[in-house]
Amino acid sequence: MAAKKAKKPAAKKPAAKKPAAKKSVAKKPAAKKPAAKKKAAPKKSGAKRKPNAAFMKPLTPSAALAAVIGSAAQPRTEVTSKLWAYIKKNGLQDKVNRRNINADDKLREVFGGKKTVSMFEMTKLVSKHLK
């Protein structure tokens, strides 16, 4: 560590007289009012939200899609769940780019003959097979 230098006392100079300035009168700060309390949002009676009726409407799959998920009429959410179960069971998700699905023979018919489809494009292609 560097040694600290001792300061030399400065020579005192005679202070010059300054003209007296007018003193301003300080105002007292106003008393703060307590913040208004916010009312809590009313709680909903049901614990779960109601699903949208459009998602829950049973749709009939085409023959190509029925080979993968079954021929029973199902809502869109159930179709997507069963499709993902089929993809996971058969190991069709691309190992390098996990967003892509490599179609087997059954899925290739659903995907319009494409070998590889992104998961976002998959829902678009599947919706053509639901009525």
- Asked if residues 56 and 75 have their Cβ atoms less than 8 Å apart, the reply is yes
pLDDT tens digit sequence for 17-47: 666 666 666 666 666 777 777 776 666 665 6
* pLDDT interval class at 108 (50, 70, 90): very high
pTM of the model: 0.59
pLDDT tens digit sequence for 48-97: 777 677 778 999 999 999 999 999 999 998 999 999 999 999 999 999 99
Token readout for 116 is: 């590889």
Q: In sequence order, what are the residues at sequence separation of 6 or more whose Cβ sits closer than 8 angstroms to the Cβ of residue 110?
A: 64, 65, 68, 103, 125, 126, 129
For residues 75 and 70, what is the distance between their CA atoms, to the nearest angstrom? 13
pLDDT score at 56: 86
For residues 26 and 15, what is the distance between their CA atoms, to the nearest angstrom? 28
Q: Please state which architecture CATH assigns to domain 56-127.
A: Orthogonal Bundle (1.10)
Closest CA to 68 of 99, 97, 35, 111: 111
